[in-house]
Structure 1
Amino acid sequence: MLSLSAYRSLFFPLGTDDLMEAQIQQISPAALAYIGDVVYELHIRMWYLMPPKQSRLYHQNVVAQVRAEQQAHYLQVLEPKLTEEEQRIVKRGRNAATKLKPKRLSPTIYQQATSFETLIGYLYLTNPERLTELLGCLPIATSESNALLQDHCRDNL
């Protein structure tokens, strides 16, 4: 298992000082969601990496977590914990999502999922520590480590 510092250096190669706030504000919500999608899927893949499983089970677990419906649910889980700035980013993501017509989802689910990905992308670029905290609040799997994260999240965020 990777140490937390090794995980952070692998998962968050950009430090918080690498991009200026003005540069980040110029990044479109769609681009933030694009980055957020990749970062979130990598987080989920790392989460399910251990214990080893058959490829089919690994894939099923990951796909279940990266579906738009699940991301929309996770946004609802996180919303009470978000700062004003994070809520503003979520709103930017939601407004950007209204320009596209989803094929298999309701517009609301699509907007929430895009908002979730926008938030993840934004925090990846601006505050990896906060992103780590919020990702730790997601009820991804039932395990002892997840239960400890949930307790920490409930008590501290």
Structure 2
Amino acid sequence: MFAGNGCRNQGGIIISDNIDGKLDANSLSALALAFVGDSVFDLFIRTMLVGSGKKVRDLHKEAVGYVKASAQAAILKALEPKLTSEERDIVRNARNAKVNTIPKHADIMEYHYSTAFEALLGYLYLTGQNRRLNEILLLAYNKDLQ
């Protein structure tokens, strides 16, 4: 499906061939990493849910349960002991980043943690650490965080 258009499918995530080594993720702000990570997580969750045969309305409700700030904050808190020192640095920088808006249904701490989770995903995606990215995504999806 994606062959020939500069993309490949790897474990449920579409990887752009022009990302590998051509974009310095370390030069991006934590919020820019979170911007990418938000889409990575949303696409992953939607991809995992779409095969269930449920109606789109129900798929949306279930997806929101994964991608809302409180859920992402809980995922990150459970994942923290399993993170490498490099990943902890990304998370810490993103958690401390100044955000301009907070969604009305999230408290400030949840939002900072969810931003940090998204930044971690964005960093892993943009640095081509696809095996680790998929490991974290599957842990989050399966809620296998103990």
Q: TM-score, normalised by structure 2?
A: 0.82
Does 31-40 or 8-17 show the bigger shift?
8-17
Structure 2: runs of 5 or more not aligned: 1-7
Contact 1:75–1:112, Cα closer than 8 Å, also in 2: yes
Q: 1:128 to 1:79 in 2, by over 3 A?
A: same
Q: How far apart, CA to CA, are the structure 2 residues paired with 1:116 and 1:14? A: 24
Q: What does residue 102 of structure 1 align with?
A: 102
Post-superposition Cα deviations, 1:38-75, rounded to whole Å, max 9, x if no partner, equal 00000000110112111111111111111011110110
Q: Identify unmatched segments of 5+ residues in structure 1.
A: none
Structure with the higher fraction of residues in helix conformation: 1
* AA of the residue aligned to 2:14: F
Q: Which has the higher strand share?
A: 2
* Cα distance change, pair 10–75 in 1 and its aligned pair in 2 (3 A): closer
Which amino acid counterpart does residue 100 of structure 1 have in structure 2?
N
Indicate the residue corresponding to 1:53 in structure 2.
54
AA aligned opposite 2:22: L
**Whole-Å separation in 2 of the counterparts to 1:15 and 1:9:** 18
Structure 2 counterpart of 1:13:
16
TM-score by length of 1: 0.77
Residue identity in the other structure for 2:100: L
Cα deviation for residue 10 of structure 1 reads: 5.2
Give the counterpart letter for 1:42 in structure 2. L
Distance in structure 2 (CA, Å) of the matches to 1:25 and 1:81: 21
Identity of aligned residues (%): 35
What is the root-mean-square deviation in Å for CA atoms of aligned residues?
A: 2.3
